[in-house]
Structure 1
């Protein structure tokens, strides 16, 4: 089980984060004595740290620097401070990612999963979500979340997005998509795929994702 250390000053946010990461199967530990961050880190040996910037005594930048002296554990900054300088500072001193308050818990879980996969290569563990540019595809209930809005996807719409988001930045041919849709369908013809793509685009547009799926004429579709 992956262990996550939560270094957050706001008691309410701290408890909400702890409750939700446990729902996703992670072990969590909150910091309450902010003079003991490094000592707790050494004893707990977390796989990932969620680090606020504004903390009592010493800020998150300080603790990130101290942890980086002894460990390469991934650190995800969570803060209401969102200036370019704050984000640059967080990354330059060794942070791996940055999420601004107020944040979506789904986005937070997606970023945690992404950092753990990159760091520990747990490819044998099925991810719960796919995240790309703050667009979250929930693999458990076939929904898509963006900007705190959720849409329900049909079986084919879900499969299309799953293929495209897993291959973001690359063109996926229509034939490749249709072969995937054929797995448990009697027959999906070219026109049926077009209808599914058009319906999906309308749903995406309704939550502010215009042109999320781009057509490459004569090649297929791409998400970039």
Structure 2
């Protein structure tokens, strides 16, 4: 279905942009953790490709695109080189990186959902894999860096929720036979905009109701 909506060249370009931005975020975390150049490259690759690899393995799209297209492998390495030599400058434009990361989130949750549906999954499963495509790499990045995944932390701005919204919009459009380039773009933009608003206004998911804990918060 996605292949019918956008040309392969457009989809490939979108993938490369999203992969590069996600790789930048992984490489920056590696620098903050004082990793060596190999560690920076590994974290960049995992962040950029982890979600897509998980999706492709689950739906049986093997070998995954990351292993059949050299661009998928080389793009995170390019991000590694940029961060390795220019990380002070990249840190100064961290806000811009967050904006592009939000764009990648919106694009990947949509592309992940449509690809999963193309391979025969139901609507709910497709939306779930769309979410996994968008956030999976970030979860793996945090685990490898010995951090509690940002996805699970109450003190971080909403990240999964925008991806859920984008994926849900896509499956609703599929269900009502309304998936077009316009509605697909609208779903991606909605996820993107919601993530930007969450960062601007520090929207966070609620914690347990009437929470009473003596454990010191970290």
Normalising to structure 2: TM-score of the pair? 0.30
Which structure's CA Rg is the greater one? Answer: 1
More strand by share: 1
Structure scoring higher RCO (CA < 8 A, sep ≥ 6) equals: 2
